Amino acid sequence: MNTVPTGWLARQADRWLFRQRESEPGEVFLHRRRVFILPTKAGLGFGALLLVLLVGATNYNLGLGYALVFLLAACAVVDMYLTYRNLGQLHLRPGRAASVFAGEEARFELQLNNRTGLDRYAIGVDFTSAAWPRYMADAPARGSAALVLTTATAQRGWLRAPRVRLVTRFPLGLFRAWSYWQPDLRALVYPFPEAVAPPLPMAGQARAHGRGSAGDDDFAGIRSYQSGDPMRSLAWRQIARLDPAYGGQLVTKHFEGGGADRLVLDFDALPSALPLELRLSRMTRWVLDAEQRALPYAVRIGAHAFPTGLGAAHQAACLGALALHGIAPQQP
């Protein structure tokens, strides 16, 4: 167990110890040199009380007073050991980090694995920027606990998970044990979609409902029903299997033909007078609108040229290119 100074000196020591720490890949083990412990305010008050009792027992030569002082001091020593043991020998593993849009909260999944036969209680986990942990976890013996920590995002690109602090005061609160962890975890932050964007740049003559003049030559599958779809295009056989009363939804037949409009989202076609971030936000909005309306689309930005496609994988690839446009590549 390690002891570090308090107050301003403790903050300076933390800054010096962790100023050059990189991400810790894989699983991290909290051995005794990684766990710090100090008395809390309650512990300091308890120590002052023991000192007063000891002085009184000495002045009046009270044998029972000595016994009481030494008994309480032994309880404090046991509490110090139990507080350290509640945090030490845990295994920490990073989970997943989902992509988000700028301005939303990034979510980092972390796991606390307890491979010992001792239950761990009331472990506070949060980023070091928080004054006190917002999340509490219990790790049962031979079990694990999963946490999702959130932090605000301000700009697009890769966001590395901030340094994590684990804190516990269990069982009596006389001592505070803590440790630090820099998980090897990062989230991709997409540009924030423009609130009110111009219509999608369809290449060809679009219809009033905005889906273009797709032909009726070749059946290409089914998709979710959208307002304005003709009744004759409804896939009644599939609808019968997906009864809305049981959680299903209306679906429409999708055809491809030679008269279909092409939707190409070209970054270079946007007015150069617009700020870079606004152009990226507009492209992001167009990608989301095309996905929502089930319109196959192609994206061109910088060295990336994504062919016409549709779906979650295609959307993630396009948004990822928008998020990293003009940003120097980083090592995973």
Tens of pLDDT along the chain (332 residues) come to: 554 444 555 556 556 555 545 678 889 999 999 999 999 999 999 999 999 999 999 998 888 999 999 999 999 999 999 999 999 999 999 999 999 999 999 999 999 999 999 999 999 999 998 888 999 999 999 999 999 999 999 999 999 999 999 999 999 999 999 999 999 999 999 999 999 888 888 764 434 344 444 444 555 556 666 666 677 677 776 666 655 554 456 767 666 554 445 789 999 999 989 999 999 999 999 999 999 888 899 999 988 999 999 899 999 999 999 999 988 765 44
Q: Are residues 132 and 164 in the same domain?
A: yes
Q: Does the residue 89 lie in any domain? A: yes
Q: What is the pLDDT of residue 25?
A: 84
> Could you tell me if 76 and 221 lie in one domain?
no
C-beta of residue 224 within 8 angstroms of C-beta of residue 250: yes
Do residues 164 and 25 share a domain? yes
Q: Is residue 310 part of a domain?
A: yes
| DSSP-assigned letters across all residues of 4-59 | ---HHHHHHHHHHHHTT---B-S-EE--GGG-EEEE-HHHHHHHHHHHHHHHHHHH
Residue 66 has a pLDDT of 93
Domain end residue (candidates: 149, 166, 190): 190
48 and 149 in a common domain? yes
Do 230 and 165 share a structural domain? no
Identify the pLDDT of residue 76: 96
Q: Is residue 329 part of a domain?
A: no
Whether 1 is in a domain gets the answer no
| The domain boundary residue, chosen from 132, 167, 190 | 190
Shared domain for 114 and 151, answered yes or no, is: yes
Does 247 map to a domain? yes
pTM of the complete model: 0.74
Residue 171 CA to residue 46 CA, distance in Å, equals: 15
User: 163, 168, 160: which is closest to 138 by C-alpha?
Assistant: 168
- Residue where a domain terminates, one of 190, 220, 248: 190
Q: Is residue 219 part of a domain?
A: yes
The reported pLDDT for the residue numbered 17 is 58
> Are residues 271 and 172 located together in one domain of the fold?
no
Closest of 147, 134, 136, 130 to residue 92, by C-alpha: 147
Residue type, 162: P
Residue 16 and residue 154 share a domain: yes
Determine the 3-state secondary structure of 161 from DSSP: coil
**Count of domains forming the chain:** 2
Does 47 share its domain with 147? Answer: yes
Whether residues 20 and 164 share a domain: the answer is yes
Task: For residue 218, report the phi and psi dihedrals to the nearest 5 degrees.
Answer: -120, 130
Q: How far is residue 310 CA from its own chain's centroid?
A: 26
pLDDT at residue 234 in the model: 73
- Per-residue model confidence as pLDDT tens digits over 94-142: 999 999 999 999 999 999 999 999 999 999 999 998 888 999 999 999 9
Residue 330 lies in a domain: no
Same domain, 116 and 221: no
Range of the domain at 234: 202-323
pLDDT of residue 243: 54
pLDDT of residue 16: 58
- The C-alpha angle 218, 219, 222, rounded to 5 degrees, equals 150
Q: What is the CA radius of gyration of the chain?
A: 30
* 63-87 and 41-60 helices, crossing angle to 10°: 160
Domain presence at residue 328: no
For residues 102 and 232, state if they share a domain: no
